[in-house]
Structure 1
């Protein structure tokens, strides 16, 4: 829909007009992050998504399921079925990256991502919510119109500016993310004392070398704490200023790029920073995209000489999602009206959900009745932006997988069977294979999730005994060396906590 910037409504629409080329960059970046996420997850097909892993289907349905969820990944407990679904998701992600049958690829990647996230909700984080929402809103955005294989079969657009209910939803979604992230940080360490980053950098489970380098400077951490808090709280307002839109957009993009790159080098947050960096590319104003197009023109021309035989890859089932014959003017208007109305309804629901999620805004008892939450769970537009909120987690520590061999030796399975030692490792974060395992270990600690512990313990024993060369074990204890973060650089004495124990029967020793 072209942008008419004159008149009252034209001025109101200005902050929500996006460049089609910026949307193409958003599409490609979202697809790239999706493929990165699939690659990381694929290294744990059995552990995280099969009945032989830490969350068999029986446990999922008992402890992590609602009646309104769906998951193709939960149709089977075999890792081979998971591998097949991962391959399909990767193929659709590649199609989205290239802009090939973009609408089909977007719907398909969104469905499979929802399915995957529903299969194991105990390894999820805030970046997963944002990635899911980018794909959902992308279904209604023309992010395959240019810089795509689909675009090669269509005439070039007469103009690149575009406005619709989906562009409003995209920008409001970004604002909600940062507003709610700030408002959920209601603890005094964020709003009064400025010690939040001190405590965050006290968590060895997420601390990276740059964060360790900054940690000894309390005044700097105090400045960065308030800087992060007020950036999240105030910066989104710039997205709604109807004058000087390109300059405000560049301010938002520039600040957020620096913000998330800083997070990425100080704290171990998995794909969180990648999703956030990808999410802001759709904000790039026309002048910046013109500059990029000029610089990347030779590369695009070289790629454009590749002859892609689209007819040989036709999808017979695409008729339900993509129009193969032009609609009449009246038909186009009906489709547009239905689409815009649906997006508006979902956006209103998302705003309602976030308003209910923020304790400082909702009245006692909440504002969203339980009977209407099914819609959020079904479409997975439910979301929570509570990173380090309302206060920073203080219960730091490290895991020791304390195994007793049949010959009496004590080994640490978390360090590949090294002799048991209770000393703090030089790098606690290095004990985690990836951020999914770190998040799992975080959820594993909660008393409310104590049901997870036997499954994890049994999984550890099985994979240990299936590895050639490992001595047989007769006992395994999952031990957490709890080290509470104290103020003013004081050090707590680690406390040994046994979370779970497994004793092998005599026949298994």
Structure 2
């Protein structure tokens, strides 16, 4: 008997696994096809995220002094005492001077432009993410779910080759892949599915979304409803249909977005994008609709871009830049030049190892990001706690409860009354008479959605650092704007039940949110 003819149990198991792997190739190909992203879609989400960063900076710039300086409503002293988990994590907190904040805004905008253009894409993207987190950490009181989604999307997108197409990096490189399949692309595709599915599950815990009533309740909230939303509230059957369509999109996102390929995926992805942009025309929820629309861009398949390309005029295509138009930017990145130098000097193995190590590192990071998404999203939806070793507020960023489980049936606005030394009392925000009646458009009572979020923090502060900082700021503003010393500040909160059935059933209730003496206000 020849010993070589015998097989060990380990060898038999190995052979069986090999056969199973080979037989599963058609299944693996189908799975891979669903997690493969067209490189042009990666370029599209890069451009979209960069533009959102720019829009966000422009939007915040009008209130930069109020929200980010020591002369505003949220000075450094308040920052240190509230949201202490962010202490030491914000570059913006290094100085409370207006010029310093303006400088950081300009720097962030320049990096965002470079990100849009795809110059040193990953490095520039990391810097943009750091600056974005720093800005968010400086004043968490003005943030909403859209800010967190933007932050998470940018983080996840950076584990994919965002500069593969339509970028300065691609022109300098001279080559580009048509498609990309990796743990990073899987994470980028899974992230929006987690957002939609988690939100659908949380909505299922309520009483109104799956009964077709929630959208009507949400749009009856006059503070949150704008533009098209004010028209839709007059058509209840349309609201019911849109409600069910919205819930279907959320609950069926895996079926509609992940399972199809080709033209079907293109159509469903466009349907989601249109729905999210529609949100922008009806609800004052900040950057959330833009971030949601951007999150779906990676689902656009090659057939969409190929079809779109056929409609681009030849004269436009002829004007597209090439490497020769880059000027000084045409030079290869320093790391590429270093690798070429190693190869030319006979260190081929070192160069190959560095490339292989870098690719392996990106793969591992992509896998960890995918696990992070699934673990924390599952924890938030199921209610099960993650291990204490990783249970940290900065890591747990996968809670998506917008308008869940049910939309609020009340809304509120604030009237800041300042008593001046000349005996008059004025509305400190408008400079006019104090009016505690219900306004014709409650959304106009806030300059922006960030002012609305900040006033919620003022209310929740209940006499703490945030509300005191706001009161001090209002006293200083009134004295400066009207050339008369402000003596007292009273901020009323007016609470109104939403007219869900089309008519108001009661008058707004009045609460005293702040009452203080301006003589006690902190100086500039």
TM-score, normalised on structure 2?
0.86
Whether contact under 8 Å (1:353, 1:382) holds in the other structure is yes
Whether contact under 8 Å (2:461, 2:467) holds in the other structure is no
Query: How does 1:232-247 map onto structure 2 within 5 Å?
Result: 232-241=250-259, 244-247=260-263
Question: 1:212: how far off?
Answer: 1.7
Query: How does 1:98-247 map onto structure 2 within 5 Å?
Result: 98-157=117-176, 159-241=177-259, 244-247=260-263
- Alignment match of 2:75 (pick from 56, 62, 82): 56
Match of 1:453?
467
Unaligned stretches of 5+ in structure 2? 1-23, 341-349
Range that drifts further, 498-507 or 341-350: 498-507
Match of 1:391?
406
Tell me, in whole angstroms, the C-alpha distance in 1 between the residues paired with 2:212 and 2:206.
8
Match of 1:280?
296
1:67 and 1:482, CA in 2 relative to 1: closer, same or farther beyond 3 A? Answer: closer
Q: CA RMSD in A?
A: 2.7
Question: 1:386: how far off?
Answer: 1.0
Tell me, in whole angstroms, the C-alpha distance in 1 between the residues paired with 2:185 and 2:439.
48
Task: State the secondary structure of the residue aligned to 2:488.
Answer: strand
1:12 and 1:312, CA in 2 relative to 1: closer, same or farther beyond 3 A? Answer: closer
2:369 aligned with 1:350? no
2:327 aligned with 1:335? no
Question: 1:225: how far off?
Answer: 2.1
Tell me, in whole angstroms, the C-alpha distance in 1 between the residues paired with 2:268 and 2:98.
42
2:109 aligned with 1:90? yes
Query: How does 1:316-327 map onto structure 2 within 5 Å?
Result: 324-325=338-339
Tell me, in whole angstroms, the C-alpha distance in 2 between the residues paired with 1:67 and 1:97.
28
Match of 1:299?
316
Unaligned stretches of 5+ in structure 1? none
Deviations 1:153-205 (A, max 9, x none): 12233x40111111000001010011111112245443453321222112111
Whether contact under 8 Å (2:412, 2:494) holds in the other structure is yes
Deviations 1:335-374 (A, max 9, x none): 222221122122212211111212xx23xxx321343123
Range that drifts further, 495-504 or 448-457: 448-457
2:427 aligned with 1:412? yes
Match of 1:76?
95
Question: 1:222: how far off?
Answer: 2.7
Tell me, in whole angstroms, the C-alpha distance in 1 between the residues paired with 2:338 and 2:125.
17
Question: 1:483: how far off?
Answer: 0.9
- Alignment match of 2:497 (pick from 484, 497, 508): 484
Task: State the secondary structure of the residue aligned to 2:492.
Answer: strand
Whether contact under 8 Å (2:379, 2:385) holds in the other structure is yes
Match of 2:514?
500
Deviations 1:373-414 (A, max 9, x none): 23x61xx56232111112212331221111222222221122
Runs of 4+ in 1 over 6 A off after TM superposition: 312-315
Larger of the two Rg values belongs to structure: 2
Tell me, in whole angstroms, the C-alpha distance in 1 between the residues paired with 2:195 and 2:292.
10
Tell me, in whole angstroms, the C-alpha distance in 2 between the residues paired with 1:65 and 1:236.
38
Question: 1:11: how far off?
Answer: 1.7
Tell me, in whole angstroms, the C-alpha distance in 1 between the residues paired with 2:198 and 2:514.
36
1:506 and 1:108, CA in 2 relative to 1: closer, same or farther beyond 3 A? Answer: closer
Question: 1:470: how far off?
Answer: 4.7
Tell me, in whole angstroms, the C-alpha distance in 2 between the residues paired with 1:449 and 1:31.
38
2:38 aligned with 1:19? yes
Deviations 1:391-443 (A, max 9, x none): 2123312211112222222211222x111222222222122222211221233
TM-score, normalised on structure 1?
0.88
Question: 1:500: how far off?
Answer: 0.2
Tell me, in whole angstroms, the C-alpha distance in 1 between the residues paired with 2:64 and 2:521.
29
1:276 and 1:106, CA in 2 relative to 1: closer, same or farther beyond 3 A? Answer: same
Tell me, in whole angstroms, the C-alpha distance in 1 between the residues paired with 2:202 and 2:292.
18
Equivalenced residue count is 487
1:285 and 1:294, CA in 2 relative to 1: closer, same or farther beyond 3 A? Answer: same
